[in-house]
Structure 1
């Protein structure tokens, strides 16, 4: 059997026996690709539990207690103490649920916050009592001063009222001196009198100073002051009759001195008169005797 020549002139390749063997196993193919490692599920690591509100609760509790111990700042300790209690309760709740690990600090914050609140409340109550006691004491002092002033006013009014007497009455000045002003008597000045105008009415005032004490007393009364019915000061009448007598010198124990003075009053204000007198004006205020004229 002949093999035809290819048209391009090349010689055909002779077939090998292997190419013609139908029972021959197929030639080995390429080596299989290497397989990678078997895929594994990622490891689930336990998540760390977060720190809760224990630290701020503890810090605020310490601050509340520390501030509460200060004398002038205790009144602001309630705020950090209250926040410490709130944060501590929140921290304890989170710790029970397993969301936080600071249960001890949260509990300490609650305890310290409670102590801070107690300190703030106790200090406030104590301060309130102290302030109330101070206010009550000041009020008592004011009441005492007011009562003393009222008593002094009433005493002064009583003394002032006691120093206004009617003619013929006696007033005790002190040191055993007792003064009596008699009811005025008409006085007829002589022709040489001074201080008396024509048409006026003249009256004589008799003053008696008695020493009821145990020691003599030097009198320094000055002249009595006499006012007419209108309250105007009247003129002292001096004449040559010798009927006037001025009080001066000493008055012995158990003795008395008598002074006589004449005064001229205008006719339209001569219905009443007032006499002011003191045995020693440097020691005692004047007393007043008043009443109608004859």
Structure 2
């Protein structure tokens, strides 16, 4: 008797599905798309979106070849990656535009608050408003300093002054001199003349000349000066008896550079 011996047949092993790329594409695509909704995170959205797009396309290719069974997930991840990249571009435009606007505003504010530079005007019919030499060379009596905003400051010659018996700032044995300062607002905005200050030096040693205050001088400027208007104030300074010149510096305010006049006395 013969017997046919048949060995048991084992089923062929089934290859494991390689779904990792599709899953990673979906996760990165979601994170990238959400990041793209915030303009400041445009860089993150761009990077994650690009990676998600690549992984999604590769994962979709695997699904077509039968190596993965999450074709829909991979395709969704790729589409989300593409959306994240588009949002990245939009966010970058919004961010850079906002930064540029802020920089422009800062530059504008800096220009408005920058010290205004004086130029030289002869004050005797001249109309010059520039000249770098005027910054280093003192003006003479009657000359005017014209600023960038067309504010014009003029200082007269120094004339002898007799302080009253109640004057403050005068030392016995010294001589007193008075100057008249005229401010003309040639600009388009009102000017606050209250912040105008004067300082003076006298003699060969250039010692500070103290300002004299009495019932006639020392009040200075006050109030706003409208466009096209001018104001005048008289100041007096105490100088050594042997002084031959009086240097007067006028600063119209914190936003202005001071201008200097060299006046002959004695």
TM-score range relative to shorter protein: 0.3 to 0.5
TM-score (norm 2): 0.47
- Based on CA coordinates, which of the two structures has the bigger radius of gyration? 1
Report the TM-score when normalising by structure 1: 0.44
